[in-house]
Amino acid sequence: MTSIIAGSGDAPRYPSVSVGVHKARCVKIIDLGTQKSDFNGEVSWKRQVLIIFETPEELNSEGQPLTISKFYTLSLHEKSNLGNDLTSWRGRAFSEAEKQSFDISKLLGVPCLLNVMDKNGKPRISSIMPMKKGDPIAEQITQGVVFSLEDFQNGKKEVFNNLSEGIRNIILRSKELEGMNQDQGDEGNGASVGDSPIPF
C-alpha cells in the first residue's frame, strides 16, 4: 500500500522589509481596543493600537510596496514605546497638554525613516526618525485607513469589514467587545490573540 506522509514542512515565506534604514509612510492606524496581557502570570489590560507603514523602495514581486507594522500601548508617557517613537519622529518632545489629548490619526500619510532590525529572525521597527526637509519619497500606493473602535461601536463597520481576518479577531477579543463574538457568527471563531518641520 502506498503511504502518504505528512510532515511539518517549511512555513510559507512572504517577502518582508529588509534590515536597514528605509523611507516609509504611515498608511494604517488601527484601534485594537483594550487588550489582555499576561506577563509572568500577572494579568493586565492595556489600550493598544497597530500602526502600519509602507516602504516605497521595498517592493514585492508585483511591484507593490512592502509594509511593516508595530503594536503600541496607547500612551504618550515618556517611557512608552509610542511616546519614544513619536518624539523621535517629530523631532521634539510632547507638551503636557499634548500628552493629555493627542490625536494619532494625524500620523496618516506622514513620511518618515524607519530603522528596521532583525529580532529572532524577523524584521522589527527599532526606531522612527523624521525625513530631511525636501527629501523626496514616492507617492503613496497603499490605501490609507484609520479604524476607530468608537466608530465600530456606533455602527460604522465598513472599515472593520475590510481589515484582515487576523486583525479583526484581535479587535473582537478586546475588553470593549467582550461577548460580541457570538453576535458575529463564525467571524469571531478562532480569535487569538505642510511647511512646518514638525509633521504632526
Write down the pTM of the prediction: 0.83
Residue 14: band (very low, low, confident or very high) from pLDDT cuts 50, 70, 90 = confident
Residue 190 has what pLDDT? 34
pLDDT at 163 > cutoff 80:
yes
Residue 40: band (very low, low, confident or very high) from pLDDT cuts 50, 70, 90 = confident
What's the pLDDT tens digit per position in 51-75? 999 999 999 999 999 999 999 999 9
Residue 182 has what pLDDT? 44
pLDDT at 35 > cutoff 90:
yes
Q: Give the mean pLDDT of 98-122.
A: 95
Residue 105 has what pLDDT? 96
Residue 12 has what pLDDT? 53
Q: How far apart are CA 164 and CA 40, in angstroms?
A: 30
pLDDT at 187 > cutoff 70:
no
Q: Taking the mean position of all CA atoms in its chain, how far away is CA 48?
A: 10
DSSP for the chain? ---------PPP----PPSEEEEEEEEEEEEEEEEEEEETTEEEEEEEEEEEEEEEEEE-TTSPEEEEEEEEES---TTSHHHHHHHHHHTSPPPHHHHHS--GGGGTT-EEEEEEEEETTEEEEEEEEPPPTT---PPP-SPPEEE-HHHHHTT--HHHHTS-HHHHHHHHTSGGGTT-GGGGGGGGTT-----SSS--
Residue 41 has what pLDDT? 85
